[in-house]
Amino acid sequence: MARRPTIIDVARVAGVSKATVARVVSGQAVPVRDTTRQRVLRAVQELGYERNAIAGSLRTDQTFMVALCIPDITNPFWPVVARGVQDTIEREGYATVTVNSDWNAIREQNYLRMVRRNRFDGLIINPMAADDEALCELGVPVVILGSGDNYPDLDSVGSDTESGAQAALDHLLALGHRRIALIAGRSQRRQQFARYESYRAFHKRHNLPLDPSLVIECDFSDTAGLTAMERLLRHPDPPTAVFAANDVLAIGALKAAQALHWRVPDDISIIGMDDIYSAATTSPALTTIAKPKYDIGVKAANLLLMRLKEAQSPPQHVLLPCTLMRRASTSAIRPANPTT
């Protein structure tokens, strides 16, 4: 196997000192004459030299690697967030290592040890169990993906899901729906079910009766959404519309309605949340609340980059707005006994 070229080889070909080569390839701010820099870069290209990042990190205490810990890589929401992080972080010379906690506290803890052991420069995480204190003790900048309610000492970026949920329910209300069901996903971190508080507040705000039998609590999966919808459609007094806590649940609900020969939206309207890619490709296309997935990743990366430069500035907690995407799965309520 051919020997890898070293910094000494580059210095010999360029006719400069090893220290000069090191300054050029590491991007140090120490001035180097342009003609000298060009000689070094030509030698680097000619020899195929690659800087030893590990050795460099021992000198500078920087690895130029950040970790991104997401909870469920199979959920189409998270790859778009990851892409926003990666696109942004790479432009600044950092590499992103993405890991999947799978909502497992032990696996998450192992990844946190990996961040410390491998000297990562920073971490972006949607935490499952790690609290504010544990993440601060890592000794590196950390950005939370989410509201950051329980992480006062750390930067956070998420979407304004409260306003998004109200927009979804108000959309159904404007279409004439009053008997609206909720398929509420089971939160892995909190006691309550996703969107339930928004659903309860909506009914109180509009002085609508809340029927507990129209709230189905389940896991976040299309199978769970399908099962939940089957229960709702077999209800003695079924709803005219359904709000699902995310698009995966909503797509499962859509499958159930079609399997039971309910027409969407003629017989029942369905709205989801997230605006994953498949939401626009279902038949009918799914009305949903779009979260700014890519922008969340971009903002999280920028917060981390800022923190790497300004360690002492106060933490920021950012909520990006959601958008109602009107598609074909919702429509005005049909009269129970239409007149001719």
What does the pLDDT look like over 169-227, one tens digit per residue? 999 999 999 999 999 987 666 555 679 999 999 999 999 999 999 999 998 899 999 99
Contact 295, 272 (CB under 8 A): no
Nearest to 250 by CA among 212, 285, 213: 285
CA 124 from centre of chain? 10
pLDDT of residue 338: 42
Which CATH class name applies to 161-292? alpha beta
pLDDT of residue 30: 62
Contact 214, 182 (CB under 8 A): yes
Q: What are the domain boundaries of the chain?
A: 65-159+295-319, 161-292
pLDDT of residue 276: 96
Superfamily of chain region 65-159+295-319 = Response regulator (3.40.50.2300)
pTM of the model: 0.81
pLDDT (tens digit, 9 = 90+) per residue, 53-95? Answer: 544 444 445 788 999 999 999 899 999 999 999 999 999 888 9
Tokens at 87, concatenated: 């696109």
pLDDT of residue 20: 85
Percent of the chain with pLDDT over 90: 68
Contact 166, 321 (CB under 8 A): no
pLDDT of residue 5: 81
Same fold, 65-159+295-319 and 161-292: yes
pLDDT of residue 337: 44
- C-alpha triplet 200, 250, 81: angle, nearest 5°: 95
pLDDT of residue 28: 58
pLDDT of residue 281: 96
Residues of the chain below pLDDT 70: 1-3, 26-30, 51-61, 187-193, 336-340
Contact 217, 245 (CB under 8 A): no
Alpha carbon distance 95, 328 (integer Å): 41
Alpha carbon distance 105, 112 (integer Å): 11
pLDDT of residue 57: 46
